[in-house]
Amino acid sequence: MVRIGISVEGPTEEIFVKKVLAPYLLVRQIVITPISMGGGVNVDKARGELKKIANSFDYVTTLYDFYGFSRKEDGETKASLEQRILDAAHEGVQDKLIPYVQMYEFEGLLFSSPEAISNVLMDEQLNQWAVEILAEFDNNPELINNSVETAPSKRLERDTGYRKTTHGPNIAKQIGIDKIREMCPGFNDWVTRLEGLAV
């Protein structure tokens, strides 16, 4: 068994890891434990958080939203942000750290299945609504983002009865990790790296 600690942004991601990702990885001999930062993520805060938890696990990783990250640099990308997290980590933490930033936020993953959004939110019209949003972004949920006002979570909160901590993990559970991996290349790459730790 490989033990991995995941520093997550907040309660929605924490519940998602516990309810959906942890059971998926457990059958692959990986035990993952989410530790919430309670929001307000930046590189300095991540550095301190990762140092706190690193000694309790074989490896540590992160699940932070690109949108939720404060103090981003001009022209910041997912790759540059992950590299900054790695570079900022304490010596001794770097060797066991796999930094991961979700584009653009956790709620993007939910668009992997318009049907699941529709089912969990109990509104069949939402299926077509989500299909049309996905089509705008080449059917890649990780690209859904026009502005802060039209981020995936803002679309859900504005146009549906979505409640983050209740509906988010439940939609993800109905979709399943395999489907999310199929639709979301960044998320898939991260899970592939985590699976590789158990080999």
User: Cα–Cα distance between 164 and 37 in angstroms, integer?
Assistant: 16
pLDDT tens digits for range 8-61: 999 999 999 999 999 999 999 999 999 999 889 999 999 999 999 999 999 999
User: Cα–Cα distance between 37 and 110 in angstroms, integer?
Assistant: 22
The model's pTM: 0.96
CATH class as words, domain 2-104+184-196: alpha beta
Q: Any alpha helices (H) in 4-146, and if so which ranges?
A: 11-16, 22-26, 43-54, 78-88, 106-110, 114-120, 125-136
pLDDT at 135 over 90: yes
For range 96-115, the mean pLDDT: 97
**pLDDT at position 148, please?**
79
CB of 61 closer than 8 Å to CB of 35: no
What does the domain layout of the chain look like in residue ranges? 2-104+184-196, 106-178
**pLDDT at position 146, please?**
80
Q: Which residue has the tokens 């590189």?
A: 43
pLDDT tens digits for range 150-189: 999 999 999 999 999 999 999 999 999 999 999 999 999 9
Closest CA to 81 of 90, 72, 93: 72
